[in-house]
Amino acid sequence: MKGMMSYDLMETIRNTNEWMGASARAVASYPAWGLVPHPMFKVMSAWGRVTERSFARMVIKPDWGIRSIPGIDGRDHLVNVETLIDRPFGSLIHFAVAGRGPMPRRVLLVAPMSGHYATLLRSTVASLLPDADVYITDWHNARDIAVSEGKFDIEDYTLYLVDFMRHLGPDINVIAVCQPAPLTLAATAYLAEIDPAAQPRTLTLIGGPIDPDSNPTEVTDFGRRVTMGQLEHLVIQRVGFKYRGAGRLVYPGLMQLASFISMNSESHTRAFADKITAEAKGEGSERDKHNIFYDEYLSVMDMTAEFYLSTVERIFKGREIAENRFVVAGRQVDIGRITDVAVKTVEGSKDDISAPGQCAAALDLLTGLPPEKKAGYIEIGAGHYGIFAGRSWRERIRPLVLRFIDQNANTAAKVTPLRAV
C-alpha cells in the first residue's frame, strides 16, 4: 500500500463523496420541486448538505476562531495568533491578548500529533486564556511538507519540545494532552540533564500513555496484535501528486479517521442520521452541536510514517518511557533526574484510549522528585475527550490544574481569582 496510487485512490473516494453530496444538494434544491410536495426531495437535499460538508471538512485545517476574551476591566480584549517559532514540522504559537499586561501564569499546551490538528484543543485554549498567557504547539500536516525537509520521528518531536521550552523560559508551566505526555516527560528529563535552568516550573500530563501496559485498552492491544512489518504494510502510504509533500511516506489522516469512527460506529451513524433528519425538517443550523463537533472531528492531518511507526514500536511495544530507557539523539534520558519540576497527572475513569493508570505511571518514574511535588487525579465518569475539553475539564479539572500551577510556581499571591468558564 506504500504507493502514491493508494493515497490518491483514497483522496479520490473522499472527493467523489463530496461531489455526490454537492450534486444531490443542488438537484434536490431546484425551485421547481416545490410543485411536487414529496418529502424525498427534502431528505435528498439534507443528505447532500450533510455529506458535502462532512467530506469537505476532511481536508480543511480549522481556524482557531478565538476572536476575543473578557478582561477583568470589563472590556473584551482582541486575541491575535502569533507564530514565535516556525519549523518545517511544527510551530510554537502564542495567543496574544491585546491591551492586557503580562500574566503571572504562563502555560504551554503541548497538542497531540495523532491525526487531528492542534485546534482540537480550541476550547481548552479558550478556557485558559482569561487566567493565563497561553502558548501551544501547532504541528503541521505531513502531506504539505516536502520530502527534502527530511524525517520527523519521536526523537525529533522531543527535541522540538526541548527547543520550545527553552525559548519560553523557566517560568513556563507545561500541560501535555494525550499522545505527547510521554515525550513531554522525556523532554523535561532531557532538559534536567543538559540545561536544568531551562526546565518548566510545572508539568501536567493529561490522559497520556506513559505505560500503556498498566491498564491496556483496545488501542494499546492493537499495537500488540500486529507486527511492525504488518503495520507498515497495512497503513503506510506515499503522499499523492497534488500535495507539496508528494512521495513522503505517511500514516494518512483519512485512515486514522476511519479507525476513530470504527471504534464508535453506532454512535456516529446515529449522529449523522439525526442530523440529516433535522436538516430535512428545517431544524438544522450552521453552528449546532453536530456541526461544531464534526467540523473539528473530521478535519484530519497526515503523520510522517517514521513518527507513527516509532511511536508504536518504542512507546507502545517497547515501553521505552515506561521502563525509563528512552534515548534522544544518542543520549539516554533518565526521568529520575527531574528533581525540581512539580508534576501532576490527570486521568478519566471512563477513558477508553488511555485508561486510568497509564498516565499515573509517570509518578513512579519520578524517583528524584519529592512526594510533595507529585500529584495524581482521576475524574470519575469522564472519558478521554472530557478530561481536557468537556464539562469535567471546565468545572473541575481546569481549576485544579491552575491551583496546582499557583501552588508550585510561586504565582498564587500575584494572580486574580479564577473565573468561571
Alpha-carbon distance of 124 to 136, in angstroms, equals 11
Is 107 domain-assigned? yes
Look at residue 418 in the predicted model and tell me its pLDDT: 54
Domain that holds residue 77: 68-220+303-409
Q: How far is CA 272 from CA 26, 137, 257, in A?
A: 20, 32, 15
Look at residue 412 in the predicted model and tell me its pLDDT: 46
**Interacting residues of 337 by C-beta distance below 8 A, sequence separation 6+:** 189, 192, 193, 368
Is 36 domain-assigned? no
Look at residue 413 in the predicted model and tell me its pLDDT: 44
Is 417 domain-assigned? no
Q: How far is CA 235 from CA 10, 15, 231, in A?
A: 12, 20, 6
Block means of pLDDT (10 residues each) for the chain, length 421 residues?
Answer: 77 94 93 84 94 94 92 86 96 94 93 93 94 97 96 97 96 95 97 94 96 81 77 90 93 90 88 93 88 92 96 93 94 94 95 90 95 94 89 93 90 51 55
- Element containing residue 137 per DSSP (H, E): strand 133-139
C-alpha cell, 219: 488501542
Is 190 domain-assigned? yes
Alpha-carbon distance of 309 to 157, in angstroms, equals 13
10 Å CB burial of residue 399 (0-12, 13-18, 19+) is: middle
First vs last C-alpha separation in the chain: 46
Alpha-carbon distance of 24 to 27, in angstroms, equals 5
Q: What is the percentage of the chain residues whose pLDDT exceeds 70? A: 95
CATH number at residue 329: 3.40.50.1820
10 Å CB burial of residue 311 (0-12, 13-18, 19+) is: buried
Total-model pTM: 0.91
Is 193 domain-assigned? yes
Domain count within the chain: 1
pLDDT digits (tens, 9 = 90+) for 195-215: 999 999 999 999 999 999 888
Is 59 domain-assigned? no
pLDDT digits (tens, 9 = 90+) for 238-264: 998 889 999 999 999 999 898 888 878
C-alpha cell, 15: 472527493
Look at residue 223 in the predicted model and tell me its pLDDT: 65
Q: What is the percentage of the chain residues whose pLDDT exceeds 90? A: 73
Question: What is the sign, positive or negative, of the torsion defined by CA atoms of 42, 48, 54, 56?
Answer: negative
